[in-house]
Structure 1
Amino acid sequence: MDLTERSLRSEQVYDGVLLDVRRDEVRLPNGETSGREWIKHPGASAVVPIDDEGRVILLRQYRFGPGREFWEVPAGKFDSDGEEALDVAKRELAEEAGVEAAAWTRLGQTFPAIGYSDETIHLFLAEGLSRTEEHVDDDEFVEPFRMPFAEAAAMARRGEIEDAKSCVALLLAAAVVDARDLD
């Protein structure tokens, strides 16, 4: 069975700095029509940076929507069309954590809000870290913190790290690290 919904009409409801809110009329698989409200997002990259001592760099950051602080991996959105996911990951790692990496492993991607957004977050493991200049955006306040990677992965498994992209990235990185330990 083909489950595809096809857009018949699309209207932009709001065009913001980050979000493009849309309202579409769609043809359903059974031939009926329905409405869909969704957010067009430029996409993002997120990084699990692990240093030579086996520590991961997490960021403590306040998020306005939920109104509290979260532990997160460094991440950021695409700034322009055609930008490569790895380039975004490298830029965000330097901006937010003040480090660069010699080795990169693609972990996959995640869609954090499939019910109402097309946002895709590309996930990477970064290793061989070295210090570089940190330059966080003027309206962004983050506090980098290093902790043992195994502890951070355990926190994600226990539900103590609640940011979805960070949980997925940490658990995928743990699978890669664990597989290496088996070799």
Structure 2
Amino acid sequence: MSDDLLVDVPRERDVVEHRLLHDGRVWDLVSDTVRLDDGDVVREYVDHPGAVAVIALDDDDRVLLLAQYRHPARHVLWEPPAGLLDVENEELVVAAARELAEEADLVAGRWWRLVEFFSSPGGSDERITVFLARDLTPVPEADRYVRGEEEADMVPVWVPLDDAVAGVMAGRLHCPTTVTGVLAAAAARATGWSGLVEVTPS
């Protein structure tokens, strides 16, 4: 199969009925009655605003990971800086820059779109865009974001990209943005970063 045929295709189906089952604090649980070729089906799923994540690499090709407790998984996971698209009409790369500053106290001089994926397409419409960030400098002390809740206890570490890839392949790292992001970064590095599209926060 040629590369131009191996592509996920957006497709809308008629939604006969849409119901809000639960109005959540961050995302909602909804039910759609969808008209398919062989009849109507009901699909319940999480209606999610979407998210961004940042693979921040320093000059030594070390990736920044943060330890964060995730209650539904009952795990402390090593994750890249990431966050919800919860600011109306905010550009994706601007949201990524905001999350990098808020969670890691860093500003990036250069940005690339690295990879994009649906986190759980059978049960959620969440779409995550992962960016590569380089030319990193610290946020001035006086301008740093005050973190709270789970973010207050985040522990940052700089990990060689090859070690992060090894952790993914050995089953030690499980966060989807970590798994997808570090493997995508390693794949991009193997081609000399030639396939990435550079973007600029406005």
Scaled by the length of structure 1, what TM-score is found?
0.91
* Aligned equivalent of 2:92, options 85, 89, 97: 85
Checking the alignment, whether the CA contact within 8 Å between 1:5 and 1:26 is kept in structure 2 is yes
- Equivalent residues in 2 for 1:108-147 (5 A)? 108-132=115-139, 133=141, 134-139=144-149, 140=151, 141-147=153-159
Equivalent residue for 1:45?
Answer: 52
Instruction: In structure 1, list runs of 5 or more residues that go unmatched.
Output: none
Q: Secondary structure at the match of 1:180?
A: coil
* Aligned equivalent of 1:154, options 147, 166, 170: 166
Q: Structure 2: which amino acid aligns with 1:111? A: F
- Equivalent residues in 2 for 1:16-35 (5 A)? 16-30=24-38, 32-35=39-42
- Give me the whole-angstrom Cα distance separating, in 1, the residues matched to 2:146 and 2:61: 24
The question of 1:10 aligning with 2:18 is answered yes
Cα distance, 1:136 vs structure 2: 5.0
* Aligned equivalent of 1:167, options 179, 187, 193: 179
Question: Bigger CA drift: 151-160 or 72-81?
Answer: 151-160
Instruction: Calculate percent identity across the aligned residue pairs.
Output: 37
* Aligned equivalent of 1:98, options 92, 105, 121: 105
- Give me the whole-angstrom Cα distance separating, in 1, the residues matched to 2:122 and 2:42: 13
Number of residue pairs matched? 179
Checking the alignment, whether the CA contact within 8 Å between 1:96 and 1:136 is kept in structure 2 is no
- Give me the whole-angstrom Cα distance separating, in 2, the residues matched to 1:14 and 1:181: 43
- Give me the whole-angstrom Cα distance separating, in 1, the residues matched to 2:96 and 2:163: 23
Cα distance, 1:4 vs structure 2: 5.5
CA RMSD of aligned residues (A): 1.7
Residues 78/4 of structure 1: CA separation in 2 closer, same or farther (3 Å cut): closer
Q: Secondary structure at the match of 2:101?
A: helix
- Give me the whole-angstrom Cα distance separating, in 2, the residues matched to 1:181 and 1:120: 23
- Give me the whole-angstrom Cα distance separating, in 1, the residues matched to 2:61 and 2:41: 50
Deviations 1:148-174 (A, max 9, x none): 122112212222211112111111111
Q: Structure 1: which amino acid aligns with 2:189? A: V
